[in-house]
């Protein structure tokens, strides 16, 4: 027996020694040097050097496990760290308990007074047209760009003749010309010949998107602006005529703002009260991505892991926001416990969005990350079999509001999963996704849809089958106008979707099913202190069963005859108004009203108080004598929707 135990111990020790000998581990530290061997005691200074050393180790032993350990501190990258198929199997991670900060920019020093209120620094690269940026970080704060008007938006006078066409194809008809996409007529009281078109940039708002454009010309007598690139939609479409002017000196209206003067070649900043610019720590971006995992069509990158890193200060071009961390043509990569904060583009991005979506990235896992203060979206996934879970995404879209907290794009049976994320304070949707077999489960979403319209806490894009939305908790969405805002939105041509066990609190429109068929809405709870509208425009053959709908104001279905099967629902309006709007023809045709009818208690719905208990935590309960209990409606508990554990 003793000999057997001794032999086993010997074999274990030998295996561990073999494993260690078959591993290549390199260290990076701010006080390191690239002439060092990259060991724990003599680390490298740069990630690029450590990556190259790991490649050399792989060439010597293809089976070696390669790991780069990054010590805490600041790293200013000279160029994007490119990882390719050569780096398959590599892990780059923070040292235990330490916080490495990777910056895609540089410090700006030498501030001088520029008039009575402002300070500036001359930047020859900007004047020469070699450097352009759209974000500035001062003392750890992502500063607001100079804007006109100071709050709200200007109204332009351009009206579009093109109408949005819905159905199998989505486009404008007639197709807008380049001129129609590239000009607006402004009100003369808003702008004048003082506008510097080399500096000025515009956000032109559409219904559910926006265009960020530069200026090519200004015709003062005709009050016309011509853009340097066309908008993605014609200005004035959907009767939306709003725009904002960014990055002009006249837009510096309060402390904490800045603008980049391309004409004079300088950056200008208005300090906060008591903020000494002689000691200010000011950062500006020089690159769009800090880390780029990029395989090729012939040889894809595989099994690369990034863990525990913080990425900040990256750039973005007009209308395009690249990921500060970007993955493309790669399989089974892991992005875990990352922090992406104060970047001008997207926080984390996989895939380029090109067709076919499913080949961009396969099996990516984005877990336990925090993404905030981005110019564009938070996390954008294009690929198949990807998982986005346990992330915290908030305060995104500060430069381009037509972006969402977490987006997922896949083609065909994408099978992506978005689960247990917390998303809040976004200008458009919390989650926006597409793909057959998509699962969106147990997410906590609130205070979204703050700028744009026709979106939702969870918005499922067009033409999907078998999507599942289950156990989500959406609350506190204020309808800002336009085409409205919803909690859960199945857009055109979604079929056989299941919405089950979701909670909506404080949203006028908890449900929108647009041009859909055979979708099932089961076991959800919708609660609002005011009116409540449930929409099924141009839809048919929907099932609505065992749901509880409670409103202080009226409850209305639009149209009610899109719901062909209903049973065991409880509807309660405190003002006693529950009605169904009818259309003459149900389905994907323009609706023609067939009147309104009050709903009454029958086998489809019981009009009575469900006697709700506490629900704001997400744990919905009913009194023992509730009609919901009598109908066999089970309580739902989404109190654990959102992150299951802190990121760090």
pLDDT 10s digits, 431-467: 999 999 999 999 999 999 999 999 999 999 988 999 9
The tens digit of pLDDT for each residue in 564-597 reads 999 999 999 999 999 999 999 888 887 788 899 9
What does the pLDDT read at residue 22?
A: 55
Q: How far apart are CA 203 and CA 225, in angstroms?
A: 13
Angstrom distance (rounded) from CA 34 to CA 616:
55
**240 and 354 belong to one structural domain:** no
What mean pLDDT, rounded, does the chain reach?
A: 93
Instruction: Provide the pLDDT for residue 19.
Output: 35
Q: Does residue 169 lie within any of the structural domains?
A: yes
C-alpha span between 370 and 365 (Å, rounded) = 14
Last residue of a domain, one of 220, 251, 283: 283
Q: What pLDDT was estimated at residue 352?
A: 72
| Domain annotation covers residue 122 | yes
- Could you tell me what percent of the chain has a pLDDT over 70? 94
How many C-beta atoms surround the C-beta of residue 372 within 10 A?
A: 20
List the single range of 43-52, 106-115, 408-417 with lowest mean pLDDT: 408-417
Residue 646, pLDDT score: 60
Asked if pLDDT for residue 238 goes beyond 50, the answer is: yes
Residue 355's pLDDT is: 42
In DSSP notation, 210-279 reads EEEEEEEEEETTTTEEEESS--SS-TTGGG--EEEEES-GGG--STTEEEEETTTTEEEE-PPTT--TTS
| Averaged pLDDT for residues 64-81 | 96
Last residue of one domain, picked from the residues 14, 43, 66: 66
Judged against a pLDDT cut of 80, whether residue 320 lies above it is answered with: no
Nearest to 636 by CA among 444, 501, 469, 499: 501
Q: Are residues 267 and 294 in the same domain?
A: no
Q: Do 83 and 130 reside in the same domain of the chain? A: no
User: What is the predicted pLDDT for the residue at 642?
Assistant: 97
Residues 190 and 317 in one domain: no
* 312 and 407 housed in the same domain: yes
Would you say residue 386 has pLDDT above 80?
A: yes
In-domain check, residue 434: no
Q: Judge if 137 and 218 occupy the same domain.
A: yes
Give yes or no for residue 9 having a pLDDT over 50.
no
Q: Is residue 426 part of a domain?
A: no
Domain span at residue 602? 454-642
Q: Which of 14-23, 118-127, 481-490, 625-634 has the lowest mean pLDDT?
A: 14-23
Task: Grade residue 20 by pLDDT with cuts at 50, 70 and 90.
Answer: very low
pLDDT digit string (tens) for 334-361?
999 999 999 999 999 998 754 444 457 9
Residue 542 — very low, low, confident or very high, per pLDDT cuts 50/70/90?
very high
Q: State residue 266's pLDDT score.
A: 98
What pLDDT, on a 0 to 100 scale, did the predictor assign at position 168? 63
pLDDT of residue 413: 65
How large is the average pLDDT for residues 125-141? 97
For residue 10, what pLDDT is reported? 44
Which pLDDT belongs to residue 359? 57
Q: Do 347 and 324 belong to one domain?
A: yes
Is 327 inside a domain boundary? yes
Which residue, 256, 283, 310, sits at the end of a domain?
283
Collect all residues with Cβ–Cβ distance below 8 Å to 37 and sequence separation of at least 6: none
Asked if 463 and 561 sit in the same domain, the reply is yes
Same domain, 352 and 328: yes
Q: Tell me what pLDDT residue 239 has.
A: 95
| Confidence bin at 116 (pLDDT 50/70/90) | very high
Do 97 and 84 sit in the same domain of this protein? yes
Q: Measured between alpha carbons, how far is residue 97 from residues 71, 449, 613 in Å?
A: 9, 36, 43
93 plus 125 within the same structural domain: no
Residue 360 CB contacts under 8 Å (≥ 6 apart), including other chains: 328, 329, 350, 351, 352, 353, 354, 382, 383
Q: How confident is the model over 607-620, as pLDDT tens digits?
A: 999 999 999 999 99
Work out the average pLDDT over 262-289.
97
Average pLDDT over residues 133-143: 97
Say how many domains are in the chain: 4
| Strand-pair partners of 555 | 532, 578
Is the same domain home to 504 and 466? yes
Domain-located, residue 441: no
Q: Is residue 189, in this structure, part of any structural domain at all?
A: yes
- Is residue 449 in some structural domain? no
Share of the chain above pLDDT 90, in %: 87
pTM, two decimal places:
0.94
């Amino acid at each position: 027996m003793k000999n057997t135990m001794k032999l086993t111990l010997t074999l274990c020790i030998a295996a561990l020694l073999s494993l260690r000998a078959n591993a290549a581990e390199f260290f990076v530290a701010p006080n390191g040097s690239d002439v060092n061997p990259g060991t724990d005691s003599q680390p490298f200074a740069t990630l690029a050097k450590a990556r190259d050393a790991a490649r050399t180790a792989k060439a010597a032993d293809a089976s070696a496990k390669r790991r780069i350990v990054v010590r805490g501190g600041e790293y200013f990258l000279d160029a994007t760290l490119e990882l390719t198929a050569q780096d398959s199997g590599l892990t780059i991670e923070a040292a235990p308990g330490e916080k490495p900060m990777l910056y895609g920019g540089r410090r700006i020093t030498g501030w001088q007074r520029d008039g009575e209120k402002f300070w500036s620094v001359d930047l020859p690269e900007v004047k020469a047209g070699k450097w352009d940026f759209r974000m500035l970080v001062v003392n750890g704060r992502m500063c607001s760009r100079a804007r006109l008007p100071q709050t709200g938006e200007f109204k332009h006078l351009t009206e579009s003749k093109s109408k949005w066409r819905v159905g199998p194809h989505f486009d404008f008809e007639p197709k807008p010309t380049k001129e129609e996409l590239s000009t607006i007529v402004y009100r003369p009281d808003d702008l004048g010949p003082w506008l510097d078109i080399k500096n000025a940039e515009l956000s032109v708002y559409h219904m559910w998107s926006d265009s960020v454009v530069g200026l090519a010309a200004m015709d003062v007598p005709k009050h016309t602006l011509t853009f340097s690139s066309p908008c993605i939609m014609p200005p004035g479409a959907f009767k939306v005529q709003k725009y904002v002017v960014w990055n002009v000196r006249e837009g510096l209206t309060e402390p904490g703002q800045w603008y980049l003067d391309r004409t004079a070649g300088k950056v200008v900043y208005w300090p906060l009260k008591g903020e000494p610019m002689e000691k200010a720590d000011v950062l500006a971006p020089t690159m769009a991505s800090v880390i780029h995992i990029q395989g090729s069509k012939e040889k894809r990158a595989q099994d690369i892991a990034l863990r525990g890193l913080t990425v900040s200060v990256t750039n973005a071009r007009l209308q395009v926001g690249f990921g500060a961390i970007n993955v493309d043509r790669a399989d089974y990569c892991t992005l875990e416990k990352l922090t992406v904060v104060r970047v001008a583009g997207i926080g984390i991005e996989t895939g380029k969005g090109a067709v076919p979506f499913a080949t961009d990235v396969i099996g990516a896992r984005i877990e336990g990350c925090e993404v905030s203060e981005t110019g564009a979206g938070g996390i954008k996934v294009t690929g198949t079999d990807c998982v986005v879970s346990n992330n915290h995404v908030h305060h995104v879209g500060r430069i381009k509001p037509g972006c969402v907290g977490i987006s997922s794009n896949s083609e065909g049976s994408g099978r992506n999963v978005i689960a247990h994320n917390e998303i809040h304070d976004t200008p458009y949707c919390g989650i926006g996704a597409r793909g057959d077999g998509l699962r969106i489960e147990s997410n906590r979403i609130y205070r979204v849809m703050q700028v744009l319209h026709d979106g939702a806490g969870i918005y499922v894009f067009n033409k999907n089958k078998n999507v599942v939305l289950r156990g989500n908790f959406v609350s506190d969405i204020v309808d800002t106008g336009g085409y409205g805002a919803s909690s859960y939105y199945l857009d055109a041509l979604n079929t056989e979707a299941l919405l089950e066990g979701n909670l909506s609190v404080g949203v006028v429109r908890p449900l929108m099913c647009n041009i859909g068929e055979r979708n099932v809405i089961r076991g959800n709870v919708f609660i609002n202190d005011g009116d409540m509208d449930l929409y099924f425009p141009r839809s048919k053959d929907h099932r609505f069963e065992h749901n509880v709908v409670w409103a202080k104001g009226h409850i209305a279905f639009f149209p009610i005859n899109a719901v062909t099967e209903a049973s065991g629902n409880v509807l309660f309006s405190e003002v006693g108004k529950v009605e169904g709007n009818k259309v003459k023809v149900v389905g994907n045709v323009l609706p023609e009203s067939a009147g309104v009818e009050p709903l009454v208690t029958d086998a489809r719905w019981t009009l009575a108080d469900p006697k709700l208990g506490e629900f704001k935590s997400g744990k919905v309960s009913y009194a023992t004598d509730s009609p919901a209990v009598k109908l066999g409606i089970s309580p739902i508990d989404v109190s654990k929707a959102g992150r299951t554990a802190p990121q760090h």
